[in-house]
Structure 1
Amino acid sequence: MYTTPTSGAEAPVSGPTLRRVLGLPSLVAFGLTSMGILSVVAVYGAGTEISDGHLPAAYMAALIAMLFTAHSYGQMARHVPVTGGAYAYASRAFGKPVGFLVGWAMMLDYLFLPMVNFLLFGLYLNSLLPGIPPQLAVLACLLVVGVFSVIGVGWIKKMNFLVVTASVLVIIAFVALAILNAPDLTMENVTRPLTLGQGGIAPVMAAAAIVAFAFLGFDGVSTLSEEARNPRRDVPRGIILSTLFAGLGYTLFSVAGSLIAPEWRSIENLDAAGTELMQRAGGDVLMVVFVIVNLGGLVLCGTAAQMSVSRVIYAMGRDRILPGALASLNPRFRTPHVAALLVSGVSLVALFITLEQAVYMINFGALIAFAVVNLATIKVLFFDLRKRGATGILRNLLLPLLGFASIAWLWTSLAWFTYLLGVTWLAIGATIFVLRRRHVGGPTDLGFDDADIADPPLTGARSVEA
């Protein structure tokens, strides 16, 4: 059991704890890196085709939907400032069995999210250097990410700032060059993609369900509560700001794309629309710079995802729901190195699956976590803590309900295979929970107490008792 000190001084510890080194800028950079600012190119072609050229409108709709859920994550992070994200929030709201299943579902998301980045890294590097086999590039990226995950957030945050800055500069350059080289720059062509087309709202909303998955990763900020200097204040802000900045960046990029290619059907390869748009706007130079920056972003995006899942596994091991060895911290870096290395081992699956198969794995777990966090916000804040009144009804009831409704709408876009995989994964998790509970001889302890949901800000470091 570990407690929250009531004074400003750090409490004595009997073992290593996670290191509190992250401020608000670092948390925002982590969230942006987790989502991957340049990930907009991955769904540009499909989103443009489905929306019939109105991709910016689709991104705006998706951003609004994601902000509702980001708000719920922020509210829970403020009142339950422990590592574990949705796992911790669901456990606090609905008990250990539900918390475990949500954490287990999250692992389906987080275990395969790094693999998506590894596979994309292999594809992009192979396009830049055809002599390097994609699988060799995947393995190299996997090993680098494994090392970064053990080193920890103190050093990685510097890399995040570098890649985020480079990605923003690439987007700014693309937007500026798209405006300068647009074949027909008119106000109508600027505003048209932000409105509804002849098909009405249906194509835009269908595309929004697809591009919403570019936002996956903002929730990773919530897993860093025990590594933030002021988690109650900065983690909620980091979640909201990273989601907002990413959404605005995606929208701006897609508007510029519609200017440089006003007729989306003229794009020769929709699957590689990003490189083609960069080449149209800035020639080979901008295209090569984009690929290089994107490669760096994929490495750090994979690192952020792996760090997030390792902290969920660490929290579940610390709560004795998973084997306690998974709660081991590296004495030097104070990171959950056993959990991180386990994730690296599982990620070797990326050498044998396709990008499409990995994406299928992600969607189910992410939407499970998003939906339950919205419901947990209502349960903990509105009902348990009775935070009501005019502001409380809005922030702790109505906004989470809208968040849940938006996630329920996104469920309609999932393929049947995703449901089959998800139910099977949850069944495996339920079996593990029952067997593990019998093994430890009774109920497990959760990593928070009543102090964790108090209103005063967290002033001291959390400590682990023997």
Structure 2
Amino acid sequence: MTSSSPAADPAAPRSAHLKRTLGLPSVLLFGLAYMAPLIVYGTYGVLAGASQDTAALAYLIALIAIVFTALSYGKLARLFPVAGSAYTYTRRTFNPHLGFMIGWATLLDYFFLPMVIWLIGAAYLSAAFPHVPSWIWIVAFIVLTSVLNILGIELANRFNIVLMVVQLAIVALFVVLCCHYVTAAAGPGGLISAEPFFKPHVPFSATMAGAAIAAYSYLGFDAVSTLTEETIAPEKTMPRAIVLIALIGGAIFVIAAYTVQLAHPGAVFKDPDSAAFEVARKVGGDIFVTVFLAGLILAQFASGISAQASVGRLLYAMGRDEVLPKRIFGFVHPKFKTPALNIAIAGAIGLVALKLDVATSTSFINFGAFLAFTAVNLCVIRQFFNAKGGANAMGVLGGLLFPLAGALADVWLLVSLEKTALVLGAAWFVLGLCYLGWITRCFRRAPPEVAV
């Protein structure tokens, strides 16, 4: 998953109004680039193991939950035609305190996202170069991306679009090679199978555990909501774009997982963290492995730069608005005009990757995401009951039943996460509650609003 593009000079003045130039195709491209389609292979082995070889069904279940949530994001984008997020929507719909807690929960995503990206990249490089210790790759990723972000070197939007096209091409080639491998072994009939979706001996709880991991690949479908103020007719374009991004991404993930499972049935790999490397060699030989590895590492590296820059930007905004100590988090490097201390903090947190695996670290990210998704669905339900005319204004289906289904699905995915992730997430949430109590003098005043 790609994070938002690196922030511009954080000390620069903010524009009062943004020019509306983006149509539906542009918003779709941004959303798909943000999701990084190639990530489906980066986490495939972990997902196949957790779901007991029902990865395709796990992606489909996650897609259903995501689509309900995407519909809710669309409703809120129509109600609040400004750059928004789960934090913004919760703050406006409920109250600033609850909004702060949702923002605090998603802060965990920002901290762990660069780490997961570096972990996946290191796992695949270790598979290609087994004599080089994994920790060397992790440290190299952290140092290189930190230096680039501190220097303020940004990736051009044009490069991100080209990178997305390359990713889609590699995914398409991987799918074709898997299909060719299956038909060569079992004939055309081998391409039609229920095995990737259903196995009698696999409990549904295992598939749900896989779906909780699969949701990581979808993160970013909602990122386009931050482009609302730059979008033409956002009240129409944004709801359609958010849902289409989720559906297109879901189709890619389900098809990719389905074909890989057909080509490599079972969830046994030399290393689950780099399983797709093994499958790529099996179906495409050394040439395709080289192409696949180059594309994956390039995508991961670009994502790592953007993700770490996003952490620095968010921490800077919190320091600037005095939610966090301004002397540290509001610091801007006098020469490079970047939040250098925040970028260094993000890099230091990334060193935790030396002690974690992909499965656990993605679960940490999904904890905050599922809480945010649940809050977005509850915001729509609250707006439904607050609206004059209620059912007539929003519709019972879109204003009540769909968001209720989305909230329940998100909670189910949340409780299906690893126990370690639930414990850490709960501890982080309690820490945030204590911090909120301190900065608001025992909840007697509203917390500062973070403008990001």
TM norm structure 2: 0.81
Aligned to 2:258, the other structure's residue is in SS state helix
Residues 311, 78 of structure 1: alpha-carbon distance in 2 compared, 3 angstrom cutoff? farther
Q: How many positions carry a matched residue from both structures?
A: 428
Residues 247, 48 of structure 1: alpha-carbon distance in 2 compared, 3 angstrom cutoff? same
Residues 70, 43 of structure 1: alpha-carbon distance in 2 compared, 3 angstrom cutoff? same
Aligned to 1:37, the other structure's residue is in SS state coil
**Is 1:101 equivalent to 2:101 in the alignment?**
yes
Q: Is the 8 A contact 1:58 1:207 kept in 2?
A: yes
Alpha-carbon distance, 1:96 to partner: 0.6
Alignment of 1:29-428 (within 5 A): 29-83=29-83, 85-128=85-128, 133-143=136-146, 146=149, 156-182=156-182, 183-187=185-189, 189-193=191-195, 195-199=197-201, 202=204, 203-226=206-229, 228=231, 231-261=234-264, 263-264=265-266, 267-306=269-308, 309=311, 313=315, 321-322=323-324, 337-338=338-339, 342-353=342-353, 354-356=355-357, 358-384=361-387, 386=389, 388-389=391-392, 392-428=395-431
Give the Cα–Cα distance (whole angstroms) in 1 for the partners of residues 223 and 302 of structure 2.
Answer: 13
Residues 388, 136 of structure 1: alpha-carbon distance in 2 compared, 3 angstrom cutoff? same
Letter in 1 for 2:221: F
- Larger displacement relative to structure 2 (369-378 or 190-199): 190-199
Alpha-carbon distance, 1:310 to partner: 5.5
CA RMSD of aligned residues (A): 3.7
Residues 226, 140 of structure 1: alpha-carbon distance in 2 compared, 3 angstrom cutoff? farther
Residues 205, 365 of structure 1: alpha-carbon distance in 2 compared, 3 angstrom cutoff? closer
Give the Cα–Cα distance (whole angstroms) in 2 for the partners of residues 343 and 197 of structure 1.
Answer: 45
Letter in 2 for 1:193: E
Percent pairwise identity = 33
Residues 329, 409 of structure 1: alpha-carbon distance in 2 compared, 3 angstrom cutoff? same
Give the Cα–Cα distance (whole angstroms) in 2 for the partners of residues 436 and 63 of structure 1.
Answer: 38
Stretches of structure 2 that go unaligned for 5 or more consecutive residues are 1-11
Give the Cα–Cα distance (whole angstroms) in 1 for the partners of residues 305 and 82 of structure 2.
Answer: 20
Aligned to 2:416, the other structure's residue is in SS state coil
Q: Is the 8 A contact 2:52 2:202 kept in 1?
A: no
Q: Is the 8 A contact 1:17 1:329 kept in 2?
A: no
Give the Cα–Cα distance (whole angstroms) in 2 for the partners of residues 103 and 414 of structure 1.
Answer: 20
Aligned to 1:264, the other structure's residue is in SS state coil
Give the Cα–Cα distance (whole angstroms) in 2 for the partners of residues 394 and 377 of structure 1.
Answer: 11
Stretches of structure 1 that go unaligned for 5 or more consecutive residues are 1-13, 449-463
Aligned to 2:193, the other structure's residue is in SS state helix
Alpha-carbon distance, 1:28 to partner: 3.0
Q: Is the 8 A contact 1:381 1:387 kept in 2?
A: yes
Q: Is the 8 A contact 2:124 2:274 kept in 1?
A: no
Alpha-carbon distance, 1:309 to partner: 4.9
- Larger displacement relative to structure 2 (242-251 or 48-57): 48-57
